[in-house]
Structure 1
Amino acid sequence: MTDEPVLTVQLTGPFRVTGPGGQDRTPKSRKAQALLALLATSPNLRRTRSWLQDKLWSQSDAAHGSASLRQSLSSLRRSLGEHARVLDATRQDVGLDSDLVCVLWKEADSESTGEFLEGLDIADPEFGNWIRFMRRGSKSHSQMPVLADQFSSRWKVALMLDQSGGQSPLLQSFADMISRVLREQGELELTEHVDDNSVDRLVTVTIGLISGTENAPALRLVAHDPNLNRQVWSRTLPASPGGQSDQPDIALLGVAFQLQSELTRYLAQSRNLIGTDACPPLVLGAAIPRIFSFQPEEMNQAAHMLSDAMDSKNAAQFLGWQAQIAVINLIEQFTDAPEACVERGKMLAAKAIEMDPMNSVVLSTAANAQVLLERGNAAAGADLAKLAVKVNPANPLAWWAFANVAIYAGKTEDALRSARVASRLAARTPLQFWCEFQLGLAAFKAGDIVTAKRALETSACLAPQFRPPRRYLLAIYADLRDFEKAESILAQLKELEPGFSLDHFVNDPLYPISLAREKNMLTWDKFQDLKIIG
């Protein structure tokens, strides 16, 4: 192998790839061109497969994205011909041989002012975000590798109080609440300096009082990306909190969590700004949706992401979420070694608590792990769940964990009340389906079938691939003799669960529908009139 580059990749002006003799080796496929450009602009000319999939096939599921990436790699190899050896692909990542590839960030003609990757626009929102950012940076930097290094730290959030209408204790109190919620999440760095040098990674959140309905005071929150001059999120709500002064209003708590969720979503969509996949602002935002997919492949990816990022300041949360993965693997019977899964989950939960015992996310995931890995031992996680709510009452996961403990402890009213709080806090956020499911379970346990059915139907509607609510809906519909809906749910479960059968559903004591089994709802006479028998 020669030390001389065999391929030259030109990034400014029209994208082109040339061989050692100047012959054109530019792939004809635009996705293959984009793939090569992403690699050529990456640190060490290498990216993980999941990162590439997220940039070029962000609207596809993991399986289709993976297949599309393999197809584009094959197309790229064919275009490179005898020089295909410059491309190195493993099961985890894809890269270019830096000894064989020369990347030109400027056109050979120094007088030229061509645009970065001129004309290379792909119909994918994530690639669009990435290329717009790179084009902005290219206007003020002669070499983009410097730009990549510049954005290796975390995004920052500046909380600003608009006190033009006068100072308000409520305004300051609400700002303190939001500060606590964002700081605990750990993915954002709070700052007071809006003129920070890292302005491309800054989001401002302005909190002020305005005249609302019938001139009543209202709180107004606006999150803004100053670099893109883009409003990220906004919300207006009545300024007068209900309840006792030492008990924050649920609406205010909910808005604080909605803000956190929306900022996390925005950063996850803007993850192309960061030079590494394991950067703290990105890991949780990318891993948690994979965990809640309840798909083994997606959860394995999440586990790898969390494990790879263990040197970050969010290590305790990463451990807690890995414990949650162990819970799902056990309950969903994704593991062929249940005893080892239980021991690993309990170990992860204990280690997470040891590292950060005053973070409500850590406390919540650890509480769930201890209760569910012990097959419903409520005492195991009761203190952790109670402390999670106390530490951060704006975290719906804390109330979820508290409701979970109450369900298994037989405290049905406490479970239902806590699940309602979790549901209200999670409204309009990606966790709504998860909290609606818990509300459904709590209502089911309390014998409120009307509320249970409504909440479970909402959860199933919000998450078409989420199996747990559909299991309870099948039992409820069959018990109510609503066979049309029962047959529809049965067909969905047969599609979502490989090997699903009613015999397994009714007779397997480990099948995850224990609350219905407690109520003696899983008997053959409930299902014998179904037209679709699985």
Structure 2
Amino acid sequence: MPLLTLRLMGPVELTGPADLRLTPRGMRARGALAVIGTARSMRITRARLQDLLFSERDPEQGNASLRQVLREIRISLGPHRDALLTGPGWVGLDPAMLRLDMSARPGPDGQIPEFGADLDIPDPEFEDWLRDVRRAAEAHAPTAIESALPDLVLGTPVSTSQDAMVLATMILSEAAGRTADLLPVAIHDADAVPRGPHIQITALASLQGQVFNLSAMLTHRPSGRVMWSQRMTCPLGELGAQMGDFTARCCLAMVQVVDQGRALGAAGGISFADVFSFSADRLARADQVLERLGDSITPAVTLSLRAWIRTTYAFERLTDDPGRAIAEAAELAARARQAAPFHATALAVNSVIEAYLDRDQIAYDLARQAVMADGQNPLARLSLSRALAGIDRLEQSASEAQAGLGQALSSLNPANWHLGIGVAKMRAGDLHAAIHHLEAVHRFAPDNRPALRFLAALRYAVKDQAGARDALRALQRLEPDFSLDLMGSDGYPVDTLRRLGLLQIAKSRLV
């Protein structure tokens, strides 16, 4: 469970165990925490953070000032300084150690405090960012579930020709439909714009000679903030092969923008990142939102995602009763298939549940049906990769996951794809390749527990004791009751390692 809490509604507050105050005193340090905390996966490029905090300073001076801000945050964290993560060109907060609290608690006067109430940083870029976030937070006050729904409004593309307009409409309509297959979002046309906040989808399309051009844009309303825009171009003769990629890129943008809606203050909104996270707090938050939605929008998707969350509880050992979690998942998944018997997402989640129950052939059959229903659905392809591993078609499993990793939509949950490849390689005996992909899982999802279990055992097997110890220590931070004796016990979820004879680490006494 996370040790730290970052509260952003009202004054910025960072607290540790027993409400220990860890908030830095500097205004820009608190502003940096607000920006990082609301960024996707709590990570942001250093260049973007520097631009928000020090846009009026020259680059060299701004870079030095940013280093000082990060140093101040690290000092304020004290014994928890590892919660501040840095990498090549980015900075972030460790979701395994820190929980983001965006709940708005009324003050003594009964009023709801504004986002970052104590932030007053005299930088025009930061002021624009803060104004957008506060405006969206006010617009998304969770007084009713309707105000939290991440609606998408699909406008008619503006085009120089009928043919270009038809092509653009096909791409954007399919992208919106795929988004609705992954998240319970409402899709409206331009004649039925909802009253509340929404994402407007617009596009310009043209045919210039034998080249098709599409410029798509996603804009948050009513703030007017452009959340995403991209220009795509392709020779007309190659468009048949490229349309799938164009659709996937637009779908990816829609899902990511819905996630960014949380950063704009949609505390009750849907987050794909939360649903496919490995944190108990984030999973619980996503489940609460999905439960409130009920049958109001695409019940097959809502029920399937709630089932997926429970499979994560079981796989990740986030519950004391994994059997109950899987039983609840199976019940929700059955209701999803009743709502839509041939829905790719519902079939895929059913497959994952059957795989957990070691009914590998049934899992494979369901995954095949999911892919037949929609071969571009990322959950369908992911479930097929897992199911292939379950019936010992390891090369095909790794190949399927590798192909999925190369698709645009894989960036929604790359950790799952790398985990699939890593497990297949491990079962095939290629330990070094397995380690490579499991390390990628840890980079993308530091709180993924199975990857750390596998990494510790495989590094130990290849004589990398220091690396094995690092993985075990990371596992200890995620599982306070973890011990090597527990890892070697029958109830601990390492059956794959046990069957492969790779559990020698349990007797190593490395930690």
The TM-score by the shorter chain falls in which range? 0.5 to 0.7
In structure 2, relative to structure 1, the CA distance for the partners of 1:510 and 1:133 (3 Å cut) is closer
2-side partners of 1:222 and 1:68: how far apart? 28
1:224 aligns with 2:206: no
1:267 aligns with 2:261: yes
In structure 2, relative to structure 1, the CA distance for the partners of 1:202 and 1:307 (3 Å cut) is closer
In structure 2, relative to structure 1, the CA distance for the partners of 1:474 and 1:418 (3 Å cut) is same
1:470 aligned partner? 452
**1:199 CA displacement:** 8.1
Query: What's the CA shift string for 1:171-226, capped at 9, x where partnerless?
Result: 455344324313434544334427947485241232635889xx975654332346
Per the alignment, in what secondary structure is the counterpart of residue 200 of structure 2?
Answer: strand
In structure 2, relative to structure 1, the CA distance for the partners of 1:219 and 1:477 (3 Å cut) is farther
1:255 aligned partner? 249
State how 1:301-380 maps to structure 2 within 5 Å: 301-372=285-356, 374=357, 376-380=358-362
% of aligned pairs identical? 18
Check the 8 A contact 1:157/1:191 in 2, yes or no. yes
Per the alignment, in what secondary structure is the counterpart of residue 492 of structure 2?
Answer: coil
AA at the equivalent of 1:261: V
In structure 2, relative to structure 1, the CA distance for the partners of 1:233 and 1:193 (3 Å cut) is same
**1:57 CA displacement:** 7.3
Per the alignment, in what secondary structure is the counterpart of residue 407 of structure 2?
Answer: helix
Match of 1:521 among 502, 505, 510: 502
Check the 8 A contact 1:324/1:345 in 2, yes or no. yes
**1:350 CA displacement:** 1.0
State how 1:9-408 maps to structure 2 within 5 Å: 58=38, 122=119, 128-129=131-132, 131-133=134-136, 151=147, 155-164=151-160, 167-168=163-164, 171=168, 173-185=170-182, 187-193=184-190, 196=193, 198=195, 200-206=197-203, 208=205, 219-225=214-220, 227-237=222-232, 239=234, 251-252=245-246, 254-272=248-266, 277=268, 282=269, 284-285=270-271, 288-372=272-356, 374=357, 376-408=358-390
Check the 8 A contact 1:323/1:345 in 2, yes or no. yes
Check the 8 A contact 1:319/1:351 in 2, yes or no. yes
Per the alignment, in what secondary structure is the counterpart of residue 157 of structure 2?
Answer: strand
2-side partners of 1:390 and 1:264: how far apart? 27
AA at the equivalent of 2:307: A
State how 1:382-531 maps to structure 2 within 5 Å: 382-425=364-407, 429-505=411-487, 507-524=488-505, 528=508
Check the 8 A contact 2:96/2:279 in 1, yes or no. no
Check the 8 A contact 1:434/1:459 in 2, yes or no. yes
**CA RMSD after TM alignment:** 4.6
**1:460 CA displacement:** 0.8
1:533 aligned partner? 510
Normalising by structure 2, report the TM-score.
0.67
Query: What's the CA shift string for 1:492-521, capped at 9, x where partnerless?
Result: 12222222223333x234433333333222
Q: Show structure 1 runs of 5+ residues with no match.
A: 1-29, 36-53, 81-95, 97-102, 106-115, 138-143
In structure 2, relative to structure 1, the CA distance for the partners of 1:178 and 1:300 (3 Å cut) is closer
Q: Which has the higher contact order (CA 8 A, sep 6+)?
A: 2
2-side partners of 1:436 and 1:352: how far apart? 27
1-side partners of 2:211 and 2:453: how far apart? 46
Normalising by structure 1, report the TM-score.
0.65
AA at the equivalent of 1:490: L
Check the 8 A contact 2:415/2:444 in 1, yes or no. yes
1-side partners of 2:265 and 2:352: how far apart? 29
2-side partners of 1:207 and 1:249: how far apart? 16
**1:407 CA displacement:** 0.9
Aligned residues: 422
In structure 2, relative to structure 1, the CA distance for the partners of 1:159 and 1:473 (3 Å cut) is farther
In structure 2, relative to structure 1, the CA distance for the partners of 1:483 and 1:369 (3 Å cut) is same
Q: Show structure 2 runs of 5+ residues with no match.
A: 1-7, 14-33, 43-92
In structure 2, relative to structure 1, the CA distance for the partners of 1:243 and 1:440 (3 Å cut) is farther
In structure 2, relative to structure 1, the CA distance for the partners of 1:62 and 1:234 (3 Å cut) is same
Check the 8 A contact 1:221/1:234 in 2, yes or no. yes
2-side partners of 1:119 and 1:508: how far apart? 47
**1:377 CA displacement:** 1.4
2-side partners of 1:330 and 1:119: how far apart? 36
1:83 aligned partner? none
1-side partners of 2:236 and 2:285: how far apart? 42
Query: What's the CA shift string for 1:439-477, capped at 9, x where partnerless?
Result: 222333344444433222222111222222222222222
